[in-house]
C-alpha cells in the first residue's frame, strides 16, 4: 500500500528511549543481560493503601462507566488539598484543576490548545524531549533557550530580553529540572513570571520531580501573581510510584482549564474511576511516605556517585530529582561515546546527555530507579573500564 504519513510528522522521530529499548532487547536476546540505568520509571511499588483502594473500587459493579471529562470531585479535591498542604498554593478544586492521563499528555494538550502554525515556543536546552516534539506536532516553532552550568542551569534573561519575542506564545520550564537536577527557587519563579507578564507569554511549568530527594517542594502557583500567566503540570508517576497508572494533573486559572478542556475532551473520555480514587489516596499520604521513598533513593545515589567517580565524571551534590547529571571527562568526544563504550563493553546502559539537547552533549544522566544490588552489580562491571 502506498500511504504517506502526514507532514506534521516530518522531523519527529521515534522517541529515543523507545528505539534504545529495542536495541537493549536485541542485546539481551544475545545473552548480554544489560543493566539499564537509563529510564526514570520507579521500580518501587505504590503505598499498599493506594493499591487497596484500586482493588476495592474496581471490584464494585458500578465503577466502570465513562467518567466526567473534568475528573471525579474526589480527585479534584485531593489535588487541591495536596497543593495547599505541600506547596501552600490555593487552588479551587471545581475550576482550577484538570486531572490528566499522565502529565506527558498535558504537554501535547497545551500545545494543541494554544499554538497556530508559526507560533514560537521557548523550550529548555537541555530539557525533556517531549516539549519540542509536542510543539512541532502542534505546528509551532521551537526556540531553544540555553541552560548551562556556568549560568546555574537558569535561563539567561538578558539574552532572552535582547531577542525578538514578538512571536513567542508559550515558554516551557521544568524545575526541579530534568536532566540537570537544578532545584526551583521562589526568586527564579518570580523572575519567570515577570518575564511572562512583560511579553505576554504563557509560562508552562512541568513539575513532576518536586518530592524526590528534595526537602523544599515548590509550585510556581504558590508565587504571587502566577495564576495570571502560568499553569503547572504535576504527576503521580514519580513521587507516588505510579508511572504505569498514568495519572497527572494540570493546575491553573479556570480560563486556562476550560481552554485546554476544549481540546482534551475531544481526545479521551475520562479516567477509570477506581484509578482516580486510588490517586486521591496517594495524594493524601503524609511526610512519612516521601521520607521512606527518599531514604531509598539517597542510598542508591551514593552508589551512583561511586559509579561516576570510576568514569572520572564531575557532578553537583546539590542536585535534586530522580537522576544524577554528570559532566564527562575530556577524553570522550561526548556523552554518546561514553554511553556506547559502557553499553557495548560493560553491558550497562546510561543516558547520553545529548538526547536532551546540544547543551547536554558533555554530560551523562544516571537514573536512581535501580535497586542497590543492581547498582552494585553495575559497579562491579565497570570497575575496570
Ligand atoms: C520532565 C518530565 N516531564 C514529564 C514527564 C512525564 O511524566 P508522566 O508519567 O506524568 O507522563 C517526565 C517523565 O519522564 C519527565 O521527565
* Domain map (residue ranges) of the chain: 7-45+288-382, 64-283
pLDDT score for 384: 64
- As a whole number of angstroms, the distance between CA 340 and CA 24 comes to 12
Q: Which atom of ligand 1 is nearest to the CA of 178?
A: 1
Exposure on the CB side of residue 98, measured as CA atoms within 13 A: 28
User: What's the gap in Å between 162 CA and the centre of ligand 1?
Assistant: 31
- DSSP H helical ranges for the chain: 16-29, 48-58, 73-87, 103-114, 130-137, 157-161, 186-199, 254-264, 273-283, 287-310, 335-346, 372-382
- As a whole number of angstroms, the distance between CA 117 and CA 137 comes to 10
Q: Is the CB of 128 under 6 A from ligand 1?
A: yes
Residue among 15, 101, 103 to mutate when testing ligand 1 (max atoms within 8 A of CB): 103
Q: Is the CB of 183 under 6 A from ligand 1?
A: no
The per-residue pLDDT string of the chain (385 residues; one tens digit each, 9 = 90 and over) reads: 999 999 888 888 777 777 888 899 999 999 999 999 998 999 999 999 999 999 999 999 999 999 999 999 999 999 999 999 999 999 999 999 999 999 999 999 999 999 999 999 999 999 999 999 999 999 999 999 999 999 999 999 999 999 999 999 999 999 999 999 999 999 999 999 999 999 999 999 999 999 999 999 999 999 999 999 999 999 999 999 999 999 999 999 999 999 999 999 999 999 999 999 999 999 999 999 999 999 999 999 999 999 999 999 999 999 999 999 999 999 999 999 999 999 999 999 999 999 999 999 999 999 999 999 999 999 999 986 5
279 closest CA partner among 107, 105, 101, 104: 101
pTM above 0.75, yes or no: yes
User: What's the gap in Å between 31 CA and the centre of ligand 1?
Assistant: 31
Q: Which atom of ligand 1 is nearest to the CA of 174?
A: 1
> Which amino acid residue places its CA nearest to atom 2 of ligand 1?
128
* Residue 164, CA distances (Å) to 114, 122, 265 in order: 20, 12, 35
- As a whole number of angstroms, the distance between CA 323 and CA 181 comes to 7
Domain at 7-45+288-382: CATH code:
3.90.1150.10
Domain at 64-283: CATH code:
3.40.640.10
Q: Is the CB of 179 under 6 A from ligand 1?
A: no
- As a whole number of angstroms, the distance between CA 215 and CA 293 comes to 12
Identify the sign of the CA torsion 222, 129, 354, 162: negative
- As a whole number of angstroms, the distance between CA 137 and CA 130 comes to 10
Q: Is the CB of 378 under 6 A from ligand 1?
A: no
Are 298 and 189 within 8 A, CB to CB? no
Q: Which atom of ligand 1 is nearest to the CA of 206?
A: 3
Q: Is the CB of 104 under 6 A from ligand 1?
A: yes
Residue among 98, 208, 245, 367 to mutate when testing ligand 1 (max atoms within 8 A of CB): 208
Are 283 and 81 within 8 A, CB to CB? yes
Burial of 326 (0-12, 13-18, 19+ CB in 10 A): buried
Amino acid at each position: 500500500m502506498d500511504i504517506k504519513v502526514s507532514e506534521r510528522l516530518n522531523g519527529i522521530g521515534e522517541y529515543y528511549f523507545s528505539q534504545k529499548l529495542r536495541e537493549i532487547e536485541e542485546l539481551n536476546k544475545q545473552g548480554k543481560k544489560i543493566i539499564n540505568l537509563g529510564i526514570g520509571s520507579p521500580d518501587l511499588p505504590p503505598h499498599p493503601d493506594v493499591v487497596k483502594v484500586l482493588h476495592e473500587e474496581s471490584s464494585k459493579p458500578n465503577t466502570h462507566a465513562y467518567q466526567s471529562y473534568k475528573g471525579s470531585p474526589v480527585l479534584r479535591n485531593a489535588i487541591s488539598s495536596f497543593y495547599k498542604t505541600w506547596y501552600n498554593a490555593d487552588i479551587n478544586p471545581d475550576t482550577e484543576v484538570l486531572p490528566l492521563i499522565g502529565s506527558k499528555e498535558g504537554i501535547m494538550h497545551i500545545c494543541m490548545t494554544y499554538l497556530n502554525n508559526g507560533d514560537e515556543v521557548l523550550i529548555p536546552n537541555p530539557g525533556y524531549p517531549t516539549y519540542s516534539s509536542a510543539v512541532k506536532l502542534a505546528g509551532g516553532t521551537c526556540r531553544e533557550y540555553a541552560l548551562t552550568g556556568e549560568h546555574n542551569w537558569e535561563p539567561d534573561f538578558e539574552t532572552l530580553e535582547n531577542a525578538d519575542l514578538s512571536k513567542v506564545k508559550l515558554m516551557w520550564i521544568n524545575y526541579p529540572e530534568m536532566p540537570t537536577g537544578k532545584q526551583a527557587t521562589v526568586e527564579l519563579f518570580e523572575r519567570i513570571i515577570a518575564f511572562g507578564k512583560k511579553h505576554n507569554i504563557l509560562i508552562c511549568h512541568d513539575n513532576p520531580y518536586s518530592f524526590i530527594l528534595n526537602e523544599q517542594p515548590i509550585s510556581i502557583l504558590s508565587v504571587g501573581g502566577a495564576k495570571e500567566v502560568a499553569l503547572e503540570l504535576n504527576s503521580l508517576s514519580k513521587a507516588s510510584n505510579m508511572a504505569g497508572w498514568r495519572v497527572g494533573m494540570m493546575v491553573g486559572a479556570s480560563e486556562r482549564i476550560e481552554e485546554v478542556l476544549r481540546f482534551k475532551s475531544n481526545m479521551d473520555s475520562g479516567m477509570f474511576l477506581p484509578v482516580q480514587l486510588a490517586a486521591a489516596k496517594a495524594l493524601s499520604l503524609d511526610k512519612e511516605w516521601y521520607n521512606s521513598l527518599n531514604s531509598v533513593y539517597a542510598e542508591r545515589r551514593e552508589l551512583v556517585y561511586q559509579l561516576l567517580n570510576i568514569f572520572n565524571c564531575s557532578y553537583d551534590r546539590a542536585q535534586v530529582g530522580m537522576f544524577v547529571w554528570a559532566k564527562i571527562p575530556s577524553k570522550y568526544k561526548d556523552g554518546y561515546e561514553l554511553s556506547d563504550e559502557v553499553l557495548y563493553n560493560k553491558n550497562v546502559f546510561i543516558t547520553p546527555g545529548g538526547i536532551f539537547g546540544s547543551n547536554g552533549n558533555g554530560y551523562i544522566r544516571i537514573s536512581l530507579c535501580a535497586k542497590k544490588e543492581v547498582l552494585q552489580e553495575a559497579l562491579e562491571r565497570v570497575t575496570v573500564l
